[in-house]
Amino acid sequence: QVQLVESGGGLVQAGGSLRLSCAASGRTFSTYAMGWFRQAPGKEREFVAAVSWSGTNTNYADSVKGRFTISRDNAKNTVYLEMNSLKADDTAVYYCAARSGGRHRTPSEYDYWGQGTQVTVSS
């Protein structure tokens, strides 16, 4: 069992930056691939970024590539999402998720989810 708690969301102007954190409980955190997803009002949950259990391999949605960076610190049981050059279209609730297999872009492939943190980008 893994419990996930996101933090770091808030209101930021377009062009600004935010760093999201996702703290995980459980001693097996380092065996899970981790993903960040987001959901805007009236839209489906969409993939943002994922990182392998070791932190070596990452992948990103095209819409955030070059602006967002996913990383993890297994010693701290935490995964991060550094978001730069934010746009109004990035406004959404951001969720972190854990998967016992490798990285995946499909939300239904993930085993555990956090409660989400709101990111609002004003234009």
Predicted pLDDT at 26: 80
CA geometry: angle 15, 19, 20, nearest 5 deg: 125
pLDDT tens string 69-80:
999 999 999 999
Predicted pLDDT at 1: 84
Mean of the pLDDT values across residues 32-47?
97
Nearest to 14 by CA among 82, 70, 117, 91: 91
pLDDT band, very low/low/confident/very high, at 49 (cuts 50, 70, 90): very high
Could you give the CA distance from residue 96 to residue 80 in angstroms, rounded to a whole number?
9
Q: What is the DSSP letter of 101?
A: S
Could you give the CA distance from residue 106 to residue 123 in angstroms, rounded to a whole number?
29
For residue 43, what are the CA distances in angstroms to 8, 20, 34, 58? 22, 21, 22, 25
